[in-house]
Amino acid sequence: MSIGVLAHLCGKLPYQELAPRVGAQGFRHVQLALWKALSGIDFSKPGKLSPGLASSIAESFAENGVSISVLGCYVHMFEHDEEKRRFNIERFKELIRHARYFGAPIVAAETGVIADRPYNEQDWTILKDTMAELIEEAEKWGVIIGMEPADRHLIGTVPDLSRLLEEMPSSQIGFVFDPGNLITPANIARQDEIFEEAFRLLGNRIVACHFKDRILREDGTVDSVAPGTGHMNYPLIVERLKEYKPGVHIVMDAVNETTMPTAKQYIESFFQRS
């Protein structure tokens, strides 16, 4: 297993400046969300990418010993406004078409959140319609769509993702496992059960991992913090990853340039254990 980082946690910069900054931290790969990490090019709407630009970005990172393991695509995947949904789909498809030039096998996403009402079957139907288009595009280009369950999202749990995979059994869909995204104030005491369920249901579909820690505050809320500074059972998580997905890419979250070295060392310490 090798440790990378969300590129935008090293700043939003021109790629020629961001790449050496990531490399200086000792990370071997990144998850790159273009419009969150790169300045100097307007990625606010699709249409700017070309094989040449994607290759140039990848080359800048490679020159600093860094590969691009995942492209991040932060879009709402079950938007009810059809014009907005089409915009989001085209954004995602553009990343799928250019992923090979970045050297990235995965385009990853969470589903999106609606905060002011419960989810319903129409939301689920729209998500499936979106996924059907993305799967067709991913099949053409040999790209994995990495779906990341996250609390409060439409796909908020591993059983939710398991349901999607049962209803849309495509080999182009993979599981981006962020154990911190599964932790809430209500279940943090049962975290081992939550993690074991994740591996039991979809351990064989994991394509990448996000590592951040979660800490239970005195007021009962849960916050995200750097790995090794919270209450999550990372010895269990890493042990199961060794069992189910040895060599999987790990991408660090909830860190900054001050906390990156210690958090990286903390996770690497588990790699040496038998």
Question: DSSP readout, 127-162?
Answer: HHHHHHHHHHHHHHHT-EEEE---TTSSS-SHHHHH
Dihedral angle, C-alpha 54, 60, 61, 62, nearest 10 °: 100
User: Rounded to an integer, what is the distance from CA 13 to the centroid of its chain?
Assistant: 20
Global pTM reads 0.97
Domain 2-271: homologous superfamily in CATH? Divalent-metal-dependent TIM barrel enzymes (3.20.20.150)
Q: Residue 151's closest CA among 87, 241, 107, 214?
A: 214
Q: How far, in Å, CA of 30 to CA of 7, rounded?
A: 6
Per-residue pLDDT of the chain (274 residues; tens, 9 = 90+): 899 999 999 999 999 999 999 999 999 999 999 999 999 999 999 999 999 999 999 999 999 999 999 999 999 999 999 999 999 999 999 999 999 999 999 999 999 999 999 999 999 999 999 999 999 999 999 999 999 999 999 999 999 999 999 999 999 999 999 999 999 999 999 999 999 999 999 999 999 999 999 999 999 999 999 999 999 999 999 999 999 999 999 999 999 999 999 999 999 999 877 5
